Amino acid sequence: MLFHVEMTVNLPHDLPKDVADNLKATEKARAQELQRSGKWRHLWRIAGRYANVSIFDVSDTTELHDILSTLPLFPFMAIEVTPLCKHPSAIAEDSN
């Protein structure tokens, strides 16, 4: 199943810089690992915000939740999830 996921990060202003930098580095590593595995198919930054729009390809909502909850920045995220399905007019083979 494909899911459109929008993640907005809200780090506390009083979070020490070294802690924030470490969280961001481990988040990047985890995101790249998930992309290499094919679970995190697309990742785009939303201009002007500390947020992204992503497409995940997972078996179900439970797997998506399990993946999202492993992200180091998960405790600081507002997440919106929308399930996707193939559009009948789509010609791309990978749109399902």
pLDDT, tens digit (0-9, with 9 covering 90-100), for 21-49: 999 999 999 999 999 999 999 999 999 99
Domain extent for 61: 2-84
Which residue type, as a one-letter code, is found at position 86? K
| Phi then psi dihedrals of residue 75, to 5 deg | -65, -15
Q: Which CATH number fits the domain that encloses residue 19?
A: 3.30.70.1060
- The rounded distance, in Å, linking the Cα atoms of 8 and 88 is 31
Let me know if residue 90 belongs to a domain. no
Let me know if residue 92 belongs to a domain. no
CA-to-CA dists, residue 94 to 26, 60, 72, 77, 91, angstroms: 30, 18, 29, 29, 9
- Of the pLDDT bands very low, low, confident and very high (cuts 50, 70, 90), residue 96 is low
- Of the pLDDT bands very low, low, confident and very high (cuts 50, 70, 90), residue 92 is confident
Q: Answer yes or no: pTM beyond 0.85.
A: yes
What percent of the chain stands above pLDDT 70? 97
- The rounded distance, in Å, linking the Cα atoms of 54 and 15 is 26
- The rounded distance, in Å, linking the Cα atoms of 66 and 13 is 27
Let me know if residue 89 belongs to a domain. no
Number of structural domains in the chain: 1
Q: What is the DSSP-derived secondary structure letter of residue 76? A: G
